[in-house]
């Protein structure tokens, strides 16, 4: 039986777990991966978000980024999501990847605020790369926004995939319009067990146009951890969730339309815990309904 642990207890035990788990971490066959709909390329289902956690370019942040990326790669993760507007996050990530010589280990996604060549050039320079895996138009807010320039950059080999993003529900009509008309490879939205508007609107349309789905803010800006503070994982969830982080992430991954979740963290123990959601069984439809009822009953 999996012993229920909180995220805090997991962090305390992380050193011992690291000693016991390298072989398991390297067992890529047991990882949950999802196919990118437009290509069939498979992507590990848990990645890393960088908003807020890597925005300061200082020695401590750079050291944290090196440790986080090592944990990500060691435990089978690949996806790193950043943006031109996340402070110095692109520079911090770029330096960490370049210093380790690990560019080929990662699927790097970044975001631009507009179809701006100067902004693109700056992002590539900060990331220390000549191309990225995914280039996204950030915070879509107008229904007539075009991805023509992004498609051109893709054709030129500047990126392998293009996408759009929004974490503002008021802009979902614009997201729906651009998603339907421009049919990007990815759409990134905020989605968590207590914030499920995307299930009704964005996920069905993404499936229809064959767009991968990345979910930002899967912990609701730590709101979910506050809700379960001091509580143990219910016994019926222990077969698939070894921590609250995995409970929350596996709810999202229980929907096959979700390509990857991208929680942000600067703590290697939390990164390893998050990546644990890529292993073991996922909740079925009935279990997901029970998970929602549990959280709503707190």
Instruction: Write the pLDDT tens digit of every residue in 213-272.
Output: 999 999 999 999 999 999 999 999 999 999 999 999 999 999 999 999 999 999 999 999
The pLDDT value recorded for residue 19 is 30
Average pLDDT over residues 152-166: 98
Which residue has tokens 């978000």?
Answer: 49
Share of the chain above pLDDT 90, in %: 90
Going by C-alpha positions, the residue among 70, 81, 215, 88 that lies closest to residue 136 is 81
Specify the pLDDT at position 64. Answer: 96
Give the confidence band of 29 by pLDDT, cuts at 50, 70, 90. low
User: What pLDDT, on a 0 to 100 scale, did the predictor assign at position 157?
Assistant: 98
Please say if the pLDDT value at position 5 is more than 60.
no
- The predicted pLDDT at position 250 comes to 98
Residue 152 predicted with pLDDT over 60: yes
Annotated domain spans of the chain: 33-296
Q: 15 falls in which pLDDT band (50, 70, 90)?
A: very low
pLDDT tens column, 162-207: 999 999 999 999 999 999 999 999 999 999 999 999 999 999 999 9
Class of domain 33-296: alpha beta
Provide the CB-side half-sphere exposure for 74 (13 A, CA): 16
d(CA 264, CA 258): 17
Has residue 21 got a pLDDT over 60?
A: no
CA-to-CA separations, 111 to 70, 103, 201, in angstroms, rounded: 23, 18, 22
Coil, strand or helix: which one is 152?
helix
């Amino acid at each position: 039986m999996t012993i229920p642990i909180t995220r805090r207890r997991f962090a305390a035990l992380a050193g011992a777990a690291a000693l016991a788990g390298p072989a398991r971490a390297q067992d890529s066959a047991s990882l949950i991966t999802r196919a990118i709909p437009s290509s069939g390329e498979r992507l590990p289902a848990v990645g890393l978000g960088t908003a807020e956690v890597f925005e300061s370019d200082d020695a401590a942040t750079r050291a944290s980024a090196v440790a986080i990326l090592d944990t990500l790669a060691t435990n089978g993760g690949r996806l790193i999501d950043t943006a031109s507007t996340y402070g110095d996050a692109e520079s911090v990530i770029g330096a960490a990847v370049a210093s380790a010589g690990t560019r080929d280990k990662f699927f790097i996604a970044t975001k631009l605020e507009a179809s701006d060549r100067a902004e693109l050039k700056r992002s590539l320079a900060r990331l220390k790369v000549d191309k990225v895996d995914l280039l996204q138009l950030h915070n879509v807010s107008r229904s007539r926004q075009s991805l023509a320039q992004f498609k051109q950059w893709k054709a030129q080999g500047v990126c392998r995939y293009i996408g759009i993003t929004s974490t503002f529900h008021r802009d979902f009509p614009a997201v729906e319009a651009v998603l339907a008309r421009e049919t990007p490879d990815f759409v990134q939205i905020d989605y968590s067990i207590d914030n499920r508007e995307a299930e009704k609107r964005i996920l069905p349309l993404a499936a229809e146009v064959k767009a991968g789905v990345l979910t930002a803010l899967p912990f609701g800006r730590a709101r979910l951890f506050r809700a379960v503070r001091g509580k143990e994982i219910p016994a019926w969830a222990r077969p698939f969730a070894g921590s609250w982080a995995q409970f929350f992430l596996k709810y999202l991954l229980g929907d096959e339309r979700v390509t990857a979740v991208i929680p942000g963290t600067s703590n290697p123990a939390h990164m390893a815990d998050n990546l644990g959601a890529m292993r073991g069984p996922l909740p079925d439809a009935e279990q997901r309904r029970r998970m929602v009822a549990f959280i709503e009953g707190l």
